[in-house]
């Protein structure tokens, strides 16, 4: 059973955005605690619908029950965590410079205020955590913005049930009508109408480079351009340093076989490129990795579109000149399945062929054999921006190759040391973002409560009477938040 | 004597950007203290060249000595202040989440790192404070980025002397070659080549809407889009509330006459629109304002281009249907002079004619007569984004019109209460930015040390050995900076 939904018309979208704007005018005045209570209520509702929504999500995404349950729990955690952060208030960046004894100086007080209605495009590979009630939605609510979600057509039924839960939580906590809207639309036109509507003030997107760039370009062509944070995936290069490879090659290979195939490789942090210096150690690594990957059975991908793209991009990659297929199939595979695949090529081939830089979304990785560390450096300098990069290196390796380490760091938003890029912890110190084409703005993150700042802007109040200021900026600091008062961080009253 | 300079060729620009990139690789590893020392050295050099540069700046800009001296002092203050902020380190947003007892959790540590070479386009109206060694340059150096300045052709000689001072300071403090470059170019092509060069990673601009939007559009069309913070001016609407107007109308009118004509009206915070409810009080206000403006003598504008634009836009505004000229000339004016000008129109005319919303850069203001507070609200809802808005209101006025106050706040980055928008204090709590078309990204500021964040991005280190981490993130907190450790702000070691 697949539920189908009608695309929203331009007129419906205009009505949704008008309502969203009215909700913004009300919601922006709600207290931080009210925002957090609303988010906690959504979290509770998601727990309430668990038994009902998991089977629907499993059917729509072909993801197993354990993963779906875990992802729903992560989504609940995000709502609670970002709600708590919203309430704690550090993210507001409250700054106060008092006039002091100088009558010519103004009293200036600044804090972040919400941008306005945010349009969220969810990810196909995370039907809960980066979709309807996912990270972008949670960040927008925390910032004080209403949200309009365009349901991902690949899990429209799941999205519908989650949307109902949000609407119920909104009613239960007295939120304004229009605080959340859920729009269906499999067509390009629906997304375009949402991004181009003058009352849309920001966009959150998780998906492909083509999709994200097209929304970014549209937003830039508006009369009033708006920020688009598009997280568009990554090949997450891994760099095997010589000493580490000699010491731990086999263990690293086993770890990576698991990382490459986790969730049928359908993660934006999947390691798609592995660089090493050619020689005995790299050959041994390749052998073990190939052996491990051969043991992994093919598995259903999220939906036919994803599977089709995997097979096409995989075929294109494997047919490139100087690309050697190391592992191609583990038993019989069906068209909807992802098959663990490993290929290798020289750094020269990599440097000369942009196709080898492209993401093959699925359980696929390409090992690049470099002549030496210098050629590895050249390869790094010709690699595009990434969500993550990983250094597999001993301390000695790191100290011997400072220029290489530095170049790898320039590539990415998160630099992993002796681990795997898959697994994105939800916490304040996480950075899930990176230089283009990983995202459209490397200055922001879509995971962790710093993601709230995507949807807020500083607002300065000059010479306001104390009682007319927002609570956050009043002398007494009634909320007890951290503020920078005359250049010193403090929780004290003035 | 006017100095003329040759436009940089595409080849020269490519060389400059290559050097800038090499400087970036070195400078990004310099300590916060080294960055601050460099900035303090520039400040010292600017003091050293004061006697030499002020006459050149006066000749190029027609601005008086007092203003030029004050602006140079402000520029020196900015360099010292942002340098101090860079060193203090709060802006780095250092966050640490330790793994704790859970072996499945990673150790994550995040801080802001520089974006790369920043191209700065200075403002014609601030030859020091928003030009060569101005706010954008200071923010970029503080962030750890090299700077390439495109000299403003209207004060190329001033720019050249300031550039020499920066180069000397860079040498004296052991900065890498290429940390700063100064490029001349009166043509559109020079600016375009700088913005489009692949090694340019961000752009700072202060100037016109047409100029800023065109750089923003170019940057968005790059293969790798880059952030452009363009501050593009504003009409800075002022809202006269009924009770305030009745109580203080005359005093307000006198204050505003000074604000409108300060610096021949050549400020991006110049009050270009004044809204009031028609009636006796507004008429009296208009009368006093007109009388005061008539007393102000015309004065030379910055350069012929600015004066020409003033006369053209002024003429266009005054010839619009239903626009009444209240003050048109004070004595004989020359073509290079700005003449204090006041006009009035009804809110109906304002609502129906976009020309009346446009900035007339110079000593010009338009009073909009509204039938009542509701029509004033309609006018606000149809006003574009602004750097500032001003409420001239008693506490009673504020309490009687919450919807109007809220709508005015939505417009702007800084909301002034019972004051004038001109005068932009350099401090952390300042917000000099605002919704489009005031700037291209309302989430950032170009005044105050928060402006540093325009040129930096978060970088997360996962599972790094303590000694391989940047000092800012090491357990011992050797720099003693504020960090958020396991969700709590602290200056302590781990």
Report the gap between the CA of B157 and the closest CA in chain A (Å). 33
Please judge whether A437 and B216 are an interchain contact, meaning their C-beta atoms are less than 8 angstroms apart. no
Best CA proximity match to B491, nearest among B89, B97, B206, B154? B89
Query: For chain A, which residues score pLDDT lower than 50?
Result: 1
Nearest to A240 by CA among A370, A403, A362: A370
Q: Does A77 touch chain B (CB under 8 A)?
A: no
Note whether B396 contacts A: Cβ–Cβ < 8 A: no
**Which pLDDT score, from 0 to 100, does residue B331 have?**
55
Q: Given A45, A60, A231, A472, which residue is catalytic?
A: A231
As a whole number of angstroms, the distance between CA A170 and CA A161 comes to 14
**What does the block give as tokens for B306?**
């600015």
What is the interface size between A and B, counted as CB pairs within 8 Å? Answer: 192
**Residue among B97, B113, B428 minimizing CB distance to A428:** B97
Contact yes or no for B460 and A25 at CB 8 A: no
Tell whether B488 lies on the interface with A, counting CB pairs under 8 A.
Answer: no
Alpha-helical regions (H) of B198-323: 209-221, 242-261, 280-294, 304-318
**Helix count and strand count (H, E) for chain B:** 15, 19
Q: Provide φ and ψ at A274, rounded to 5°.
A: -130, 120
pLDDT at res. B277: 97
Report CB contact under 8 Å: A487, B428.
yes
For residue A481, the chain B residues in CB contact (below 8 A) are none
Q: Does residue A85 sit in helix, strand or coil?
A: helix
* Residues 25 through 64 of chain B touching chain A, CB cutoff 8 Å: 25, 29
Computed over its alpha carbons, how large is the radius of gyration of chain B?
24
Output the CA–CA distances (angstroms, integers) from residue A91 to A183, B111, B321, B487, in the order listed.
Answer: 30, 15, 48, 11
Q: Cβ distance B81 to B449 under 8 Å?
A: yes
d(Cα A445, Cα A472) in Å, to the nearest integer? 25
Sorted by sequence, the CB contacts under 8 Å of residue B459 that are 6+ apart come out as A409, A412, A413, A414, A415, A431, B110, B111, B112, B113
Look at B450 and A458 and tell me if their CB atoms are within 8 Å: yes
Q: Which residue of B has its CA nearest to A485?
A: B429
| Residue written as token pair 């150096």 | B141
**DSSP helix/strand/coil, A438:** coil
Name the strand (E) or helix (H) holding B140.
Answer: helix B135-143
- What are the backbone dihedrals phi and psi of residue A145, each rounded to the nearest 5 degrees, phi first? -105, 140
Residue B472 to residue A153: CA distance in whole angstroms? 44
Determine the Cα angle at B48 with ends B46 and B49, to 5°. 70
Phi and psi at A382, nearest 5°, equal -110, 20
From residue A29, how far is each of A34, A167, A448, B293 by CA, in Å?
A: 10, 20, 24, 40
Residue B244 and residue B419 in contact, taking contact as beta carbons nearer than 8 Å: no
**Helix and strand tally (H, E) in chain A?**
15, 19
Is B460 considered catalytic here?
no
Distant-in-sequence, close-in-space partners of A485: CB < 8 Å, separation ≥ 6: A95, A96, A98, A492, A494
User: A359 CB near a chain B CB, below 8 Å?
Assistant: no
Residues of B in contact with A489 (CB under 8 A): 90, 482, 489
What is the spatial distance between Cα A446 and Cα A440, in angstroms, rounded to a whole number? 12
d(CA A238, CA B175): 33
Residue in A431, A458, A463 nearest the CB of B458 = A431
Q: What are phi and psi of A415, to 5 degrees?
A: -115, 115
What gap in Å lies between CA B305 and CA A64, rounded to an integer? 67
Q: Is beta strand A108-114 parallel, antiparallel or unpaired with respect to A95-97?
A: antiparallel
pLDDT at position B22 is: 97
**From B231, B278, B326, B472, the catalytic residue:** B231
Contact B166, B100 (CB under 8 A): no
Q: 10 Å Cβ neighbour count for B480? A: 12
Chain B positions in Cβ-Cβ contact with residue A77 (cut-off 8 Å): none
Structure tokens at A463: 């010479």
B386-392 sheet: strands from edge to edge: A488-490, A483-485, A95-97, A108-114, A456-462, B412-417, B386-392, B238-240, B273-277, B364-370, B341-346, B324-327
Contact (CB, 8 A) for B230 and B213 = yes
Longest dimension (CA), chain A: 81
Pick out chain B residues at pLDDT < 50: 1
Q: Which of residues 149-188 of B touch A (CB under 8 A)?
A: none
Cα B29 to Cα B32: distance, rounded to the nearest angstrom: 9
d(CA A111, CA B415): 12
Window 404-443 of A: residues touching B by CB (8 A cutoff) are 406, 409, 412-419, 423, 425, 427-431, 433, 435-437, 440-443
Can you tell me the distance from the alpha carbon of B12 to that of B185, in angstroms, rounded to the nearest whole number? 12
Is A268 an active-site residue? yes
Number of residues written out for chain B: 494
* CB-based contact, A70 to chain B, within 8 Å: no
Report the pLDDT value the prediction gives residue A334, as an integer from 0 to 100.
Answer: 75
Edge-to-edge order in the sheet of strand A147-150: A180-183, A147-150, A118-121, A202-206, A228-231
Looking at residue A100, its pLDDT comes to 84
What pairing do the DSSP bridges indicate for beta strands B95-97 and B108-114? antiparallel
Residues of B in contact with A83 (CB under 8 A): none
Distance CA A115, CA A58 (A): 35
């Amino acid at each position: 059973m697949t539920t189908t939904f009608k695309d929203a018309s331009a007129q419906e979208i205009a009505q949704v955005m008008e309502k969203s704007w009215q909700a913004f005018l009300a919601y922006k005045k709600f207290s931080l605690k009210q925002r957090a209570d609303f988010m906690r209520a959504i979290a509770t509702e998601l727990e309430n619908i668990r038994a009902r929504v998991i089977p629907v999500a499993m059917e729509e995404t072909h993801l197993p029950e354990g993963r779906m349950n875990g992802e729903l729990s992560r989504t609940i955690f995000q709502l609670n965590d970002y709600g708590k952060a919203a309430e704690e208030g550090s993210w507001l960046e409250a700054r106060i410079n008092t006039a002091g004894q100088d009558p010519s100086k103004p009293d200036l007080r600044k804090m972040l205020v919400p941008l306005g209605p945010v349009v969220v495009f969810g990810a196909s590979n995370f039907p809960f955590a980066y979709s309807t009630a996912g990270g972008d939605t949670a960040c927008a609510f925390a910032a004080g913005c209403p949200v309009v979600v365009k349901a991902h057509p690949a899990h429209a039924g799941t999205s519908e049930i989650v949307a109902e839960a949000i609407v119920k939580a909104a009613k239960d906590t007295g939120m304004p009508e229009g605080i959340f809207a859920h729009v269906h639309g499999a067509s390009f036109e629906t997304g375009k109408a949402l991004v181009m509507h003058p009352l849309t003030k920001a966009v959150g997107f998780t998906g492909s480079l083509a999709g994200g760039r097209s929304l970014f370009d549209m937003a830039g062509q508006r009369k009033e351009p708006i920020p688009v944070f598009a997280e568009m995936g990554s090949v997450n290069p891994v760099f095997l340093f010589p000493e580490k490879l000699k010491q731990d090659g086999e263990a690293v290979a086993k770890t990576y076989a698991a990382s490459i195939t986790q969730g049928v490789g359908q993660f934006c942090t999947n390691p798609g490129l592995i660089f090493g210096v050619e020689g005995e150690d790299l050959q041994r690594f390749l052998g073990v990795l190939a052996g491990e990957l051969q043991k992994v059975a093919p598995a259903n991908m999220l939906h036919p579109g994803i599977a089709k793209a995997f097979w096409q991009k995989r075929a294109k990659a494997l047919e490139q000149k100087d690309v050697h297929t190391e592992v191609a199939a583990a038993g019989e595979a069906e068209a909807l399945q992802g098959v663990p695949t490993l290929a290798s090529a020289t750094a020269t081939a990599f440097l000369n062929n942009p196709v080898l830089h492209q993401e093959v979304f699925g359980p696929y990785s390409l090992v690049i054999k470099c002549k030496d560390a210098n050629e590895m450096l050249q390869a790094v300098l010709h690699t595009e921006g990434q969500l993550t990069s990983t250094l597999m290196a001993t301390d000695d390796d790191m100290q011997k190759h400072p220029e290489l380490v530095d170049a790898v760091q320039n590539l990415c938003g998160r630099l992993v040391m002796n681990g795997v890029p898959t697994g994105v912890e939800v916490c304040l110190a996480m950075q899930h973002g990176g230089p283009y084409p990983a995202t459209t703005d490397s200055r922001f993150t879509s995971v962790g409560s710093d993601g709230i700042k995507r949807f807020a802007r500083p607002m300065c109040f000059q010479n306001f009477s104390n009682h007319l200021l927002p609570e956050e900026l009043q002398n007494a600091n009634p909320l007890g938040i951290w503020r920078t008062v005359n250049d010193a961080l403090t929780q004290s009253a003035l």
